[in-house]
């Protein structure tokens, strides 16, 4: 078995935390993946994977091999891109993660980026803030879109590229259908919203901590009637049930055609949260990452991001 291929299997196992899913991602059978990992252990003369009925993680030696594997694969991708690309025509993969509330903006970003550079192949994943930060630090990701406020800028190895500011709305059923698209109604206080039955993101999501902080500042902590880690669930629950939700402006586009809903800007306290692209500051960027960062800082893109993340859901 080719050592390089075995290292790819090892990284896939770390990404998916499951032998079967890692095998599917690598387009091989599970026995083939397991055999390659055993051959890797024989090659290095140590146990790498903790084995049981299910994937149980890596040994201490396995963690060291994994870090080297990611570095080797990263350098290999950099070399491939250097050889295949021209300065104005990057060619290769770009792996990006975004927090769920920023996915509409991230999707727009990669679509416009790929239209500019047809040989650039982005992969976009919805991930938690912790997953994004960890992925950037261990080379599992090249680029992330998430919350700037989480970072300790004096200690974090991540560089911040500001993108837009997140504003918050109460999404609810309208008293009567609007004549056009989703209506932006009058503002509502956080303390008033707290008295309504709410469907909110679950506690492990950073967006939830922002919302909880706003309700606490208004003197009205809340206990939601429905919780989920899916933004689609929030919107669907408002459409199907008798609940309201708190969403950032970037997600209102998904409800734009819903004439039976309305979005009310939340005030008192005012909450505006910066969203940024995150990149590891010490890693040599690939050609595709250089192109992505150049586009991310362009006036054209920043105007686009602001337009689709603010008070106008269209």
Which domains, ranges and CATH numbers included, belong to the chain? 3-70 (1.10.10.10), 92-165+274-307 (3.40.190.10), 168-269 (3.40.190.290)
Q: 314: pLDDT confidence band, cut at 50, 70 and 90?
A: very low
Question: Residue 198 in 3-state DSSP?
Answer: strand
In angstroms, the CA 79 to CA 287 distance is: 10
In angstroms, the CA 147 to CA 160 distance is: 10
Cis peptide before 269 (omega within 30 of 0): yes
Residue 295 has what pLDDT? Answer: 97
Whether residue 85 has pLDDT greater than 90:
no
Distance set, CA 30 to CA 36, 66, 110 (Å): 10, 19, 32
Which spans in the chain are helix H?
Answer: 3-16, 19-26, 30-44, 60-84, 103-116, 129-137, 190-193, 206-217, 231-240, 287-296, 299-307
Which spans in 58-102 are helix H?
Answer: 60-84
In angstroms, the CA 252 to CA 258 distance is: 10
Task: Judge if pTM exceeds 0.85.
Answer: no
pLDDT tens digits for range 127-160: 999 999 989 988 889 999 999 998 876 677 888 9
> Bridge partners of 94?
122
The radius of gyration of the chain from alpha carbons, rounded to an integer in Å, stands at 22
Residue 55 has what pLDDT? Answer: 84
Q: 1: pLDDT confidence band, cut at 50, 70 and 90?
A: low
Classify the C-alpha dihedral 170-175-179-185 as positive or negative: negative
Q: What phi and psi values does residue 138 have, to the nearest 5 degrees?
A: -105, 15
The pLDDT > 90 percentage for the chain reads: 51
Distance set, CA 207 to CA 14, 199, 273 (Å): 26, 13, 10
Whether residue 311 has pLDDT greater than 60:
no
Whether residue 313 has pLDDT greater than 50:
no
Contact 143, 96 (CB under 8 A): yes
């Amino acid at each position: 078995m080719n050592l390089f291929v075995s290292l790819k299997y090892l990284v896939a196992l770390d990404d998916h935390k499951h032998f079967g899913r890692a095998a599917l991602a690598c387009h091989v059978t599970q026995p083939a993946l397991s055999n390659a990992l055993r051959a890797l252990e024989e090659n290095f003369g140590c146990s790498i994977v903790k084995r049981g009925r299910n994937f149980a993680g890596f040994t201490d030696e396995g963690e060291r091999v994994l870090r080297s594997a990611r570095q080797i694969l990263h350098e290999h991708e950099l070399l491939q891109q250097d050889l295949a690309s021209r300065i104005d025509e990057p060619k290769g993969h770009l792996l990006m993660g975004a927090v769920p509330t920023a996915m509409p903006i991230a999707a727009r970003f990669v679509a416009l980026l790929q239209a500019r550079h047809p040989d650039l192949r982005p992969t976009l994943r919805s991930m938690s803030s912790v997953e994004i930060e960890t992925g950037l630090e261990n080379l599992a990701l090249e680029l992330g879109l998430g919350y700037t406020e989480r970072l300790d800028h004096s200690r974090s190895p991540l560089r911040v590229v500001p993108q837009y500011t997140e504003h918050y709305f109460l999404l609810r059923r309208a008293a009567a259908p609007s004549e056009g698209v989703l209506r932006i109604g009058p503002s509502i206080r956080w303390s008033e919203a707290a008295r309504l039955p709410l469907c909110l993101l679950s506690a492990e999501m950073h967006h939830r901590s922002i919302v909880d902080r706003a309700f606490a500042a208004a003197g009205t902590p809340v206990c939601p009637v429905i919780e989920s880690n899916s933004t689609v669930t929030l919107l669907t629950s408002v459409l199907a049930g008798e609940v309201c939700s708190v969403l950032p402006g970037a997600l209102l586009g998904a409800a734009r055609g819903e004439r039976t809903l309305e979005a009310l800007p939340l005030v008192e306290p005012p909450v505006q949260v910066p969203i940024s692209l995150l990149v590891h500051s010490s890693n040599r960027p690939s050609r595709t990452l250089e192109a992505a960062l150049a586009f991310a800082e362009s006036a054209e893109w920043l105007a686009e991001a602001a337009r689709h993340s603010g008070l106008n859901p269209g």
